[in-house]
Chains A and B, each alone.
Chain A
Amino acid sequence: MKKRLNIFCVCMIAAFLLSVSGNVYLIIEMFINGVEVGMKAAQGEITEIPQYKMVHVLPTDMMETTGTVTNLKDGRQLAVKPITALVECPYSHSSHGFEVLQGLIGLIVIIGFVYATVYFAKLMIHINRNIVFDWINVKHLRRVGWSLTGICVLSFVSIWISNHQLAQCIELAGSKLNILIAFSDSSLILGFIALLASEVFAIGLRLKEENELTI
Protein backbone atom coordinates (compact mmCIF):
# COMPACT_ATOMS: atom_id res chain seq x y z
CA MET A 1 0.00 0.00 0.00
CA LYS A 2 2.78 2.40 1.00
CA LYS A 3 4.96 1.29 -1.90
CA ARG A 4 2.25 2.37 -4.33
CA LEU A 5 1.81 5.67 -2.47
CA ASN A 6 5.54 6.38 -2.70
CA ILE A 7 5.60 5.48 -6.41
CA PHE A 8 2.77 7.96 -7.04
CA CYS A 9 4.66 10.56 -4.98
CA VAL A 10 7.79 10.12 -7.10
CA CYS A 11 5.65 10.29 -10.28
CA MET A 12 4.06 13.52 -9.03
CA ILE A 13 7.42 15.10 -8.24
CA ALA A 14 8.74 14.03 -11.66
CA ALA A 15 5.67 15.51 -13.39
CA PHE A 16 6.08 18.73 -11.41
CA LEU A 17 9.78 19.00 -12.33
CA LEU A 18 8.91 18.34 -15.98
CA SER A 19 6.24 21.06 -15.94
CA VAL A 20 8.56 23.68 -14.43
CA SER A 21 11.65 22.68 -16.45
CA GLY A 22 10.59 24.87 -19.42
CA ASN A 23 10.22 27.94 -17.23
CA VAL A 24 13.48 27.24 -15.35
CA TYR A 25 15.32 26.89 -18.69
CA LEU A 26 13.79 30.20 -19.88
CA ILE A 27 14.75 31.98 -16.63
CA ILE A 28 18.37 30.69 -16.79
CA GLU A 29 18.70 31.61 -20.49
CA MET A 30 17.27 35.09 -19.92
CA PHE A 31 19.47 35.59 -16.86
CA ILE A 32 22.61 34.68 -18.86
CA ASN A 33 21.49 36.96 -21.70
CA GLY A 34 20.81 39.77 -19.24
CA VAL A 35 24.26 39.40 -17.66
CA GLU A 36 25.93 39.45 -21.11
CA VAL A 37 23.99 42.55 -22.18
CA GLY A 38 24.74 44.23 -18.85
CA MET A 39 28.47 43.52 -19.22
CA LYS A 40 28.43 44.92 -22.75
CA ALA A 41 26.63 48.02 -21.47
CA ALA A 42 29.22 48.41 -18.70
CA GLN A 43 32.03 48.25 -21.27
CA GLY A 44 30.27 50.93 -23.35
CA GLU A 45 29.47 48.63 -26.28
CA ILE A 46 25.74 49.22 -25.82
CA THR A 47 24.26 52.60 -24.88
CA GLU A 48 20.68 51.52 -24.32
CA ILE A 49 19.46 48.21 -22.87
CA PRO A 50 16.21 47.09 -24.50
CA GLN A 51 13.44 46.16 -22.07
CA TYR A 52 11.47 43.10 -23.14
CA LYS A 53 8.15 42.08 -21.74
CA MET A 54 6.25 38.82 -22.06
CA VAL A 55 3.11 39.59 -24.06
CA HIS A 56 0.04 37.36 -24.19
CA VAL A 57 -2.24 38.32 -27.03
CA LEU A 58 -5.35 37.07 -28.76
CA PRO A 59 -5.45 37.53 -32.54
CA THR A 60 -8.46 39.65 -33.53
CA ASP A 61 -7.75 40.07 -37.23
CA MET A 62 -6.37 37.01 -39.01
CA MET A 63 -5.58 39.08 -42.12
CA GLU A 64 -3.21 41.35 -40.19
CA THR A 65 0.32 39.89 -40.29
CA THR A 66 2.33 40.39 -37.11
CA GLY A 67 5.54 39.01 -38.62
CA THR A 68 7.02 36.31 -40.78
CA VAL A 69 9.35 33.37 -40.34
CA THR A 70 11.32 31.51 -42.99
CA ASN A 71 10.34 27.91 -43.64
CA LEU A 72 13.70 26.23 -44.23
CA LYS A 73 12.01 23.28 -45.98
CA ASP A 74 10.95 25.35 -49.00
CA GLY A 75 12.40 28.80 -48.26
CA ARG A 76 8.98 30.50 -48.18
CA GLN A 77 8.07 33.24 -45.76
CA LEU A 78 5.23 32.21 -43.44
CA ALA A 79 3.00 34.62 -41.54
CA VAL A 80 3.18 34.44 -37.75
CA LYS A 81 0.36 35.03 -35.30
CA PRO A 82 2.00 34.75 -31.88
CA ILE A 83 -0.10 34.19 -28.76
CA THR A 84 2.88 34.61 -26.41
CA ALA A 85 5.90 36.68 -27.39
CA LEU A 86 8.69 38.85 -25.99
CA VAL A 87 8.10 42.42 -27.15
CA GLU A 88 10.28 45.47 -26.50
CA CYS A 89 8.56 47.81 -24.07
CA PRO A 90 10.06 51.26 -23.34
CA TYR A 91 11.06 51.42 -19.67
CA SER A 92 9.82 55.01 -19.30
CA HIS A 93 6.22 53.74 -19.53
CA SER A 94 6.44 51.35 -16.61
CA SER A 95 6.13 52.44 -12.99
CA HIS A 96 8.82 51.58 -10.43
CA GLY A 97 6.10 50.88 -7.84
CA PHE A 98 4.54 48.23 -10.02
CA GLU A 99 7.99 46.70 -10.73
CA VAL A 100 8.68 46.41 -6.98
CA LEU A 101 5.20 44.99 -6.35
CA GLN A 102 5.68 42.39 -9.08
CA GLY A 103 9.06 41.45 -7.62
CA LEU A 104 7.49 41.05 -4.17
CA ILE A 105 4.67 38.95 -5.58
CA GLY A 106 7.22 36.75 -7.36
CA LEU A 107 9.08 36.27 -4.07
CA ILE A 108 5.88 35.44 -2.16
CA VAL A 109 4.89 32.95 -4.90
CA ILE A 110 8.28 31.17 -4.57
CA ILE A 111 7.93 31.09 -0.75
CA GLY A 112 4.36 29.79 -1.18
CA PHE A 113 5.55 26.98 -3.43
CA VAL A 114 8.28 26.01 -0.95
CA TYR A 115 5.71 26.15 1.92
CA ALA A 116 3.27 23.93 0.01
CA THR A 117 6.03 21.47 -0.93
CA VAL A 118 7.29 21.26 2.68
CA TYR A 119 3.80 20.52 4.04
CA PHE A 120 3.12 18.00 1.28
CA ALA A 121 6.38 16.24 2.18
CA LYS A 122 5.38 16.31 5.89
CA LEU A 123 2.04 14.72 4.98
CA MET A 124 3.77 11.95 3.03
CA ILE A 125 6.21 11.33 5.92
CA HIS A 126 3.26 11.05 8.37
CA ILE A 127 1.45 8.57 6.10
CA ASN A 128 4.67 6.52 5.77
CA ARG A 129 4.84 6.43 9.57
CA ASN A 130 1.28 5.03 9.71
CA ILE A 131 -0.18 8.33 10.95
CA VAL A 132 -2.97 8.51 8.37
CA PHE A 133 -6.27 9.63 9.88
CA ASP A 134 -5.02 12.41 12.12
CA TRP A 135 -6.04 16.07 12.45
CA ILE A 136 -2.43 17.11 11.76
CA ASN A 137 -2.74 15.64 8.23
CA VAL A 138 -5.95 17.60 7.69
CA LYS A 139 -4.08 20.76 8.74
CA HIS A 140 -1.19 19.96 6.39
CA LEU A 141 -3.55 19.36 3.47
CA ARG A 142 -5.40 22.60 4.22
CA ARG A 143 -2.10 24.50 4.30
CA VAL A 144 -1.07 22.99 0.95
CA GLY A 145 -4.49 23.80 -0.52
CA TRP A 146 -4.67 27.40 0.68
CA SER A 147 -1.06 28.16 -0.27
CA LEU A 148 -1.62 26.84 -3.81
CA THR A 149 -4.85 28.84 -4.10
CA GLY A 150 -3.02 31.93 -2.81
CA ILE A 151 -0.23 31.40 -5.33
CA CYS A 152 -2.79 31.33 -8.11
CA VAL A 153 -4.47 34.54 -6.90
CA LEU A 154 -1.10 36.32 -6.56
CA SER A 155 -0.01 35.11 -10.00
CA PHE A 156 -3.22 36.52 -11.42
CA VAL A 157 -2.53 39.89 -9.72
CA SER A 158 1.02 39.87 -11.13
CA ILE A 159 -0.28 39.12 -14.64
CA TRP A 160 -2.89 41.85 -14.27
CA ILE A 161 -0.20 44.39 -13.26
CA SER A 162 1.98 43.30 -16.18
CA ASN A 163 -0.97 43.59 -18.55
CA HIS A 164 -1.85 47.02 -17.14
CA GLN A 165 1.72 48.23 -17.75
CA LEU A 166 1.82 46.74 -21.23
CA ALA A 167 -1.53 48.25 -22.18
CA GLN A 168 0.06 51.69 -21.65
CA CYS A 169 2.90 51.16 -24.10
CA ILE A 170 1.80 48.39 -26.46
CA GLU A 171 -1.08 48.04 -28.87
CA LEU A 172 -0.38 45.37 -31.43
CA ALA A 173 -2.01 45.42 -34.86
CA GLY A 174 -4.47 42.58 -35.37
CA SER A 175 -4.16 41.37 -31.76
CA LYS A 176 -5.30 42.46 -28.35
CA LEU A 177 -3.74 41.82 -24.95
CA ASN A 178 -5.46 38.98 -23.17
CA ILE A 179 -4.99 38.25 -19.48
CA LEU A 180 -6.65 34.81 -19.61
CA ILE A 181 -4.04 33.32 -21.99
CA ALA A 182 -1.31 34.02 -19.43
CA PHE A 183 -3.38 32.74 -16.52
CA SER A 184 -2.34 29.26 -15.41
CA ASP A 185 -5.09 27.50 -13.52
CA SER A 186 -3.12 24.34 -12.64
CA SER A 187 -2.13 25.53 -9.14
CA LEU A 188 -5.74 26.60 -8.49
CA ILE A 189 -7.03 23.15 -9.49
CA LEU A 190 -4.33 21.45 -7.38
CA GLY A 191 -5.17 23.77 -4.46
CA PHE A 192 -8.86 22.94 -4.63
CA ILE A 193 -8.07 19.20 -4.93
CA ALA A 194 -5.93 19.47 -1.77
CA LEU A 195 -8.74 21.36 0.05
CA LEU A 196 -11.26 18.76 -1.12
CA ALA A 197 -8.99 15.94 0.09
CA SER A 198 -8.60 17.71 3.45
CA GLU A 199 -12.39 17.87 3.84
CA VAL A 200 -12.67 14.16 2.96
CA PHE A 201 -10.00 13.44 5.61
CA ALA A 202 -11.89 15.60 8.14
CA ILE A 203 -15.17 13.75 7.46
CA GLY A 204 -13.35 10.40 7.81
CA LEU A 205 -11.80 11.54 11.09
CA ARG A 206 -15.16 12.68 12.50
CA LEU A 207 -16.68 9.31 11.56
CA LYS A 208 -13.74 7.52 13.19
CA GLU A 209 -14.11 9.59 16.38
CA GLU A 210 -17.85 8.97 16.43
CA ASN A 211 -17.27 5.24 16.01
CA GLU A 212 -14.65 5.23 18.77
CA LEU A 213 -17.00 7.13 21.11
CA THR A 214 -19.94 4.81 20.56
CA ILE A 215 -20.31 2.83 23.77
Chain B
Amino acid sequence: MPIIVNLDVMMAKRKISLGELAERIDLTPVNLSILKTGKAKAIRFSTLEAICKELDCQPGDILEYRVEE
Protein backbone atom coordinates (compact mmCIF):
# COMPACT_ATOMS: atom_id res chain seq x y z
CA MET B 1 0.00 0.00 0.00
CA PRO B 2 1.41 3.45 -0.83
CA ILE B 3 0.35 4.83 2.61
CA ILE B 4 3.23 4.40 5.05
CA VAL B 5 2.63 4.47 8.81
CA ASN B 6 5.49 6.22 10.61
CA LEU B 7 4.12 5.58 14.09
CA ASP B 8 7.29 3.75 15.16
CA VAL B 9 9.39 6.80 14.20
CA MET B 10 7.19 9.17 16.22
CA MET B 11 7.13 6.75 19.16
CA ALA B 12 10.93 6.57 19.12
CA LYS B 13 11.14 10.39 18.97
CA ARG B 14 8.80 10.70 21.98
CA LYS B 15 10.51 7.77 23.70
CA ILE B 16 7.25 5.97 24.41
CA SER B 17 6.66 2.23 24.36
CA LEU B 18 3.85 0.49 22.48
CA GLY B 19 2.18 -0.75 25.66
CA GLU B 20 2.26 2.67 27.28
CA LEU B 21 0.84 4.44 24.24
CA ALA B 22 -1.83 1.75 23.86
CA GLU B 23 -2.87 2.28 27.47
CA ARG B 24 -2.95 6.08 27.11
CA ILE B 25 -5.11 6.08 23.97
CA ASP B 26 -7.33 3.23 25.23
CA LEU B 27 -6.40 0.77 22.48
CA THR B 28 -5.23 -2.84 22.79
CA PRO B 29 -1.46 -3.39 22.21
CA VAL B 30 -2.38 -5.91 19.50
CA ASN B 31 -4.38 -3.34 17.53
CA LEU B 32 -1.70 -0.69 17.97
CA SER B 33 0.90 -3.20 16.78
CA ILE B 34 -1.22 -3.88 13.66
CA LEU B 35 -1.25 -0.12 13.01
CA LYS B 36 2.49 0.25 13.70
CA THR B 37 3.51 -2.60 11.41
CA GLY B 38 1.37 -1.24 8.54
CA LYS B 39 -1.02 -4.21 8.47
CA ALA B 40 -4.08 -2.03 9.17
CA LYS B 41 -6.48 -1.40 6.29
CA ALA B 42 -8.00 1.77 7.76
CA ILE B 43 -7.72 4.12 10.72
CA ARG B 44 -10.56 5.89 12.51
CA PHE B 45 -10.36 9.67 12.95
CA SER B 46 -10.89 9.15 16.70
CA THR B 47 -7.83 6.85 16.88
CA LEU B 48 -5.74 9.27 14.83
CA GLU B 49 -6.87 12.14 17.03
CA ALA B 50 -5.91 10.23 20.21
CA ILE B 51 -2.47 9.31 18.84
CA CYS B 52 -1.78 12.88 17.67
CA LYS B 53 -2.87 14.21 21.06
CA GLU B 54 -0.63 11.81 22.99
CA LEU B 55 2.41 12.15 20.72
CA ASP B 56 1.87 15.90 20.22
CA CYS B 57 2.14 15.69 16.44
CA GLN B 58 0.18 16.15 13.21
CA PRO B 59 -1.52 13.31 11.22
CA GLY B 60 1.07 13.93 8.50
CA ASP B 61 3.82 12.98 10.95
CA ILE B 62 2.25 9.52 11.32
CA LEU B 63 0.91 8.90 7.83
CA GLU B 64 2.90 9.38 4.63
CA TYR B 65 2.00 8.87 0.98
CA ARG B 66 4.71 7.25 -1.12
CA VAL B 67 4.24 6.52 -4.87
CA GLU B 68 4.32 2.78 -5.57
CA GLU B 69 7.08 1.71 -7.97
Q: Which residues of B contact A18 (CB under 8 A)?
A: none
Expressed in whole angstroms, the Cα–Cα distance for A209 and B43 within the complex equals 14
Which B residues, 19 to 57, have Cβ-Cβ distances below 8 Å to chain A? Answer: 27, 31-32, 34-35, 39-44, 47
Expressed in whole angstroms, the Cα–Cα distance for A210 and B35 within the complex equals 13
A-B contact count (CB 8 A): 23
Assign chain A's interface to a size class.
under 10
Expressed in whole angstroms, the Cα–Cα distance for A209 and B39 within the complex equals 11
Q: Which residues of A contact B40 (CB under 8 A)?
A: 213-215
Residue of B nearest to A213 (CB): B41
Beyond A214-B44, A215-B34, A215-B43, 4 additional pairs, beta carbon < 8 A: A210-B42, A213-B42, A215-B27, A215-B31
B contact set with A: CB distance below 8 Å: 27, 31-32, 34-35, 39-44, 47
Q: List 8 A-B contacts (CB under 8 A).
A: A209-B41, A210-B42, A213-B34, A213-B39, A213-B40, A214-B44, A215-B43, A215-B47
